[in-house]
Amino acid sequence: MSAPQTFNRLVSIAGLLLVVPIALPLISGTVKPLDAGIRAMVLFGGVLVARRLANLTPRPLMVVETDTE
């Protein structure tokens, strides 16, 4: 697995875990659905930006030996 793929997975998992603090106040009724939706939208945007940045990292080169014969 390459570094960008690993970073993409870590960012996605972190984004999933960061939804929990948004969901708990929504379930308890201390936050309105609109406010929770805005928070989730901002979080989703942050995850998308982080994943795009991960795709900009340089990819490793594969050197293939050639047969001179």
pLDDT digits (tens, 9 = 90+) for 39-68: 989 988 987 888 788 778 777 777 777 777
Half-sphere exposure of 20 (CA within 13 A, CB side): 5
Asked whether residue 60 is assigned to any structural domain, the reply reads no
- Amino acid 69: pLDDT: 66
Task: Please give the tally of structural domains in the chain.
Answer: 1
pLDDT band at 32 (very low <50, low <70, confident <90, very high): very high
Asked whether residue 14 is assigned to any structural domain, the reply reads yes
Q: What residue numbers bound the domain in which 40 lies?
A: 3-55
Asked whether residue 68 is assigned to any structural domain, the reply reads no
Asked whether residue 50 is assigned to any structural domain, the reply reads yes
Helix (H) or strand (E) holding 53: helix 33-55
Asked whether residue 64 is assigned to any structural domain, the reply reads no
| pTM > 0.75 | no
Asked whether residue 67 is assigned to any structural domain, the reply reads no
- 43 contacts: CB under 8 Å, gap ≥ 6: 15, 18, 19, 22
d(CA 12, CA 48): 9
pLDDT band at 35 (very low <50, low <70, confident <90, very high): very high
